[in-house]
Amino acid sequence: MRLVTLEDIHAAAAAIAPHVVHTPLLTFDSGLSIKPECLQPIGAFKQRGAVNALSRIPSEDRARGVVAYSSGNHAQAVAYAAKLLGMPAAIVVPDNTPQLKIDATRSHGAEVFVVGITERESRAAELVEERGATLIPPFDHPDVIAGQGTIGLEICADLPDVATILVPVSGGGLIAGVATAVKSLRPNVRVIGVEPELAGDAAASFAAGSLVRWDAHDRARTIADGLRAEPSELTFAHIREYVDDIVTVTEDEIRDAVREIARRTRVVSETSGAVPVAAYLNRSLPAGPAVAVVSGGNIEPKLFAELVG
Amino acid sequence: MRLVTLEDIHAAAAAIAPHVVHTPLLTFDSGLSIKPECLQPIGAFKQRGAVNALSRIPSEDRARGVVAYSSGNHAQAVAYAAKLLGMPAAIVVPDNTPQLKIDATRSHGAEVFVVGITERESRAAELVEERGATLIPPFDHPDVIAGQGTIGLEICADLPDVATILVPVSGGGLIAGVATAVKSLRPNVRVIGVEPELAGDAAASFAAGSLVRWDAHDRARTIADGLRAEPSELTFAHIREYVDDIVTVTEDEIRDAVREIARRTRVVSETSGAVPVAAYLNRSLPAGPAVAVVSGGNIEPKLFAELVG
């Protein structure tokens, strides 16, 4: 299996630079900075991978557009990237998707198809077939991984003495990219994945040395709704090669972390984005300056108000 | 009266660069970006002016330290800057200051003196006298104005086609610096001050062409507790020279703006920091890309939860 390389990630950085925010490191306390990817225009890091993947579609295929299926940040990321690059986008969402997210995806000019949750993949495949469009997966693709890896480049450039980087793990695209970039540049920096205990399949896989599958119903128990996916063979291969450890955090630790991030750094994070800070606050870590990638900030306003008040 | 110059502001930018966040412009909607100064380590732009003012204290005076009186962000800004530059700091705060802010100021290593509100100035003057320390005023000083002006340099560099910049007005140090920088670099960009209607003394002064004084009790009616001060002769001279207009917003408009900033840009703003966005949402502005300086994010968590929920 060919893994993404540092060169792929440098190329991605050049491709996406005009279209993403170079997020600043913000001081959480004397030991931790956060990398607030919630400040991207769509409110999440997914914009990096989507813009990179779309920018690599050959020009002769662009007019036929792109297709994605997602109920979350990936839908908006692909819609946003397609608008930027002038390509049509069709997004397939399950019928339990909040109207707010459907509207946000439509606001970027994408065509939205609402289907039963079990029909997502087949409807997307039909659209790809009918239109000759390109399917953009949420994490299981080298161009997506390379795009997310640009976060690692920025951390290494902006905090040369970083010792530990904490990254949320779901499908594994984010940590695959970040770990590849960071370990290629600075082999001594520790890259640690963080998962909710209730969706701790990647931690179990990491401990076992091969992919362990958890039932989707079990993974759905966590409040961190962006962390319910599971790694693919491709993302797990990067994790095995480059990641030092994967730790888990409890639901209460996640809730507290959302509040502490808002109070200390004035940033709105979603529960999934707050898990690395939960690990920093509650687990023992290697010494030295740490960075937590706060991956997104798309949280339901009522829940956010409850957590920060 | 000597006004601050573009050269003063360029010098300030060089002096403070290692100690402040170059805040990114964040997309609010297609017409507006925000400049989130709430992302500075102390949660407000005041850090820029304080670091610049302290960095210009002659080395032979540094060991005697600095003194400031403030119940708000200036107290933390001076304490933070003093710690950075290795100087002792004494901060005089009125006895109605929330314990949270006193603790935050102490956490930066400053000595805090709690006094009756009418004794603030005299106690600060005593400390200056006893210690031979340097008094750092919150806005009425060229070095403070020059530090705040670095925000204008960053906006012009990061959004070359900016047409309008909206800035909160209280004592006027922020808008004096920003307007001086922006008008010196780009005379055609419009710089508009924004005030709460209930503390609209600067708007009244601007319309009258000379300082109009409002009673402190009247200015204290607004929820925007950081915008209750009034311009000085020095800051008003910059406003007359460089500012295009000052507009006012209502209390409800300010509350709504805090919510919209959190939802659209994932940033926590204080009421005082949200007034420029309130003006964008509710007043007619010149055509073209606008930037709102969101000056701070130190808001009481219960109030914030109420506004965003």
Q: Which of A36, A38, A308 shows the shortest C-beta gap to B305?
A: A308
For B155-177, what is each residue's pLDDT tens digit?
Answer: 999 999 999 999 999 999 999 99
Point out the domain boundary residue: B135, B164, B194. Answer: B135
**CATH code for the domain in which residue A30 is found:** 3.40.50.1100
Q: Is residue A52 part of a domain?
A: no
Residues A11 and A74 in one domain: no
- Residues of chain A with Cβ-Cβ distance to B305 below 8 Å are 305-306, 308-309
| Residue A147 structure tokens | 């795009």
- Cβ contact (<8 Å) for A263 and B301? yes
- A158 and A250 share one domain: yes
ipTM score assigned to the predicted complex: 0.94
Residue A115 sits in the same domain as residue A234: no
Helices (H), A211-300: 216-219, 233-242, 251-265, 271-282
Name which of A24, A39, A308 is nearest B266 (Cβ-Cβ): A39
List A46, A70, A170, A183, catalytic entry: A46
Q: Please check whether residue B1 lies inside any domain of the structure.
A: no
- From B117, B135, B153, the end of a domain falls on B135
* E-assigned strand segments in B104-145: 111-115, 134-135
Closest among B272, B267, B258 to B306, alpha carbons compared: B258
Judge if A21 and A164 occupy the same domain. Answer: yes
- Give the number of A-B residue pairs with CB atoms closer than 8 Å: 76
Q: Do the beta carbons of residue A291 and residue A164 sit within 8 Å?
A: yes
Distance in Å, alpha carbon of A108 to nearest chain B alpha carbon: 11
pLDDT per residue as tens digits for the range A241-298: 999 999 999 999 999 999 999 999 999 999 999 999 999 999 999 999 999 999 999 9
Per-residue pLDDT of chain A in tens (309 residues, 90 and over written 9): 999 999 999 999 999 999 999 999 999 999 999 999 999 999 999 999 999 999 999 999 999 999 999 878 999 999 999 999 999 999 999 888 878 788 889 999 999 999 998 898 899 999 999 999 999 999 999 999 999 999 999 999 999 999 999 999 999 999 999 999 999 999 999 999 999 999 999 999 999 999 999 998 999 899 999 999 999 999 999 999 999 999 999 999 999 999 999 999 999 999 999 999 999 999 999 999 999 999 999 999 999 999 999
Which residue has tokens 């660069």? Answer: B17
- Asked about B302 being catalytic, the answer comes back as no
> Which among A22, A266, A301 is the nearest to B297, CB-wise?
A266
- If asked whether residues B146 and B251 sit together in one domain, one would say yes
Other beta carbons within 10 angstroms of residue A130's beta carbon come to 11
| Contact list, A23 vs chain B (CB under 8 Å) | 24
In chain A the beta strands, taken as DSSP E runs, fall at 26-29, 32-36, 66-69, 89-94, 111-115, 134-135, 164-168, 190-196, 245-249, 290-294
Cβ B268–A269 below 8 Å, yes or no? no
Q: Which residues of A touch B41 (CB under 8 A)?
A: 26-27
For residues A265 and B298, is the Cβ–Cβ distance under 8 A?
no
How remote is the C-alpha of B287 from its chain's centroid? 26
Tell me, yes or no, whether B183 and B281 share the same domain.
yes
Q: Based on the structure, what is the number of domains in chain B?
A: 2
Q: Tell me the residue range of the domain where A102 lies.
A: 60-135
Residues B125, B15 within the same domain: no
Last residue of a domain, one of B110, B135, B160: B135
**Dist. CA B27–CA B33, nearest whole Å:** 5
